[in-house]
Amino acid sequence: MKPSIGYINLHVHDVAREIAFFRDVVGLELQFADESFHYARFDGGTVGFAVAGSGEAAPSEPPADRLTGIGFVVEDVDAACREMKVRGARFTMEPSRQPWGGYMAMFADPEGNVFYLDGPR
C-alpha cells in the first residue's frame, strides 16, 4: 500500500474569520462549514483543505508569522498576487524567482500562518 495525502487540516482560533479569508481573499470554494464543530472544508483540488479550531480564544499577542509549508498553485503568480492584494491579502514575500528555479510568493492569513503561492511545475 502506498499512502497519499488526501487532505490538510489547518488549526486556527477564529474559524469564521479564516472561512472569509480563504473563500473571499484566496478564492477557494467553501464546501462545508459547521460553526458548532469549529470546522470548514474547502475545495482544494486534488488535496482537500480545511480549517479546524478548538473554540478557544486566540492569544492576545499573535505569534510571529508561521510557515505552514502549504502551497497553493496558480497559473500566473503575479496576476494571482495582484488579485489577492486587492481582496486584502498580506504578502510576506513578493513574487520572485527562487534559486531552485521556481517562481513564488508568500502570503499570511489573519492569524499569521504563512502559505506559498506558486506556479505550476
Question: How does pLDDT run across 40-92, given as a tens digit for each residue?
Answer: 999 999 999 999 987 776 666 656 667 888 989 999 999 999 999 999 999 99
End-to-end CA distance of the chain: 26
What is the separation of C-alpha 33 from the centre of its chain, rounded to a whole number of angstroms? 16
Residue 10 grid coordinates: 489547518
What structural domains and CATH numbers belong to the chain?
Answer: 1-55 (3.10.180.10), 64-121 (3.10.180.10)
Residue 102 grid coordinates: 521556481
Residue 70 phi/psi, 5° resolution? Answer: -95, 130
Look up the pTM and report it.
0.80
CB 91 within 8 A of CB 75: no
Percent of the chain with pLDDT over 90: 64
The pLDDT tens digits for 82-118 are: 999 999 999 999 999 988 788 999 999 999 999 999 9
